[in-house]
Amino acid sequence: MAPSGKSAAAEFGLYRPSEEHDMLRDSVRALSEAKIAPFAAEVDEEGRFPQEARDALESNDLHAVHVPEAYGGAGADALATVIVIEEVARVCASSSLIPAVNKLGSLPVILSGSEELKKKYLAPLARGEAMFSYCLSEPDAGSDAGGMKTKAVRDGDHYVLNGVKRWITNAGVSDYYTVMAVTDPDKRTKGISAFVVEKDDEGVSFGAPEKKLGIKGSPTREVYLDNVRIPAERMLGEEGTGFATAMKTLDHTRITIAAQALGIAQGALDYAKGYVTERKQFGKPIGDFQGVQFMLADMAMKLEAARQLTYAAAAKSERVSLGGGDEDLTFFGAAAKCYASDAAMEITTDAVQLLGGYGYTRDYPVERMMRDAKITQIYEGTNQVQRIVMSRNLP
């Protein structure tokens, strides 16, 4: 059982991983190294979904640890969720998107869904019978999510959805989709509502997988909604509250992208540390040279700074989840995602540099880690957008 929020909050509201968290990290790391790492290069090379990772995570109840116990989940706190994602990402970024996107897709249900919807959709997620995705972005509505065009029109006891969602992580694999759609075009963001759409609903289809630089094992596809008729009861919250739900969701889940960035960076640093002790030039290990030592020191320093910011953001996320107030969550969520992803890009690039020509080849994992790190600066809001969010929410 992952640690619960009741025991994780430390003095002053900051998280220091408890013994339970340390045990969770050890178990996830062991599982990841044994069951996920051996397939990471193959998953990347073939661009296939990491089914081995899904099987391993679901068999150990690590695929959606955030689901409350009331719906059959582990009821893990925000830090425990971060640790799971971080440790999986350390060996395979694509695989870490299973727990990360399960939280992203289902959190709107937790935040705004009726009790009936929570029981209907969270229980199968907790049992590993389904995965969840999040549908916000569109071809002409990326950073400007409020400019979306997907529509939901009321028809008696149903809504009929039409539109296209783009850049949807794990699309085609997930069974459930949280979809934001316009219900009142005259109200812009206050005219957007949230719905749960099922993969098997008539009119739902998917585009071809995107050919991406990194995270090749996690399918990214368009989701087409062609006269998709769903019961009105599948709306999350009141009509017109969907955009607010979407933004509240991102306040919490940007921290999971920070966690993914931490894991990628940690994997690159670990590999580089081992390499420089073995690789010899001028008659001694290159790790004996001060220039190399300084590079490693900077990598470790940036990583630890990112980790502390991410864990602090997780503490704030948990306090909000438990019903406490925390006006700084929006700032800290954006800051953690922005700083950790920038650090991951720098650290993985330096890892490639430390391996020299070998680092540039697919025979070594750091080039994959560098490619995977790049997306953490882009999705769930580009880092330029994160800086806008931070500037508008300075603590």
Catalytic member of 138, 222, 318, 380: 380
Query: Is position 380 annotated as part of the catalytic site?
Result: yes
Token pair 């940007």 in the structure block, residue = 254
Residue 233: Cβ within 10 Å count = 14
Residues taking part in catalysis:
380
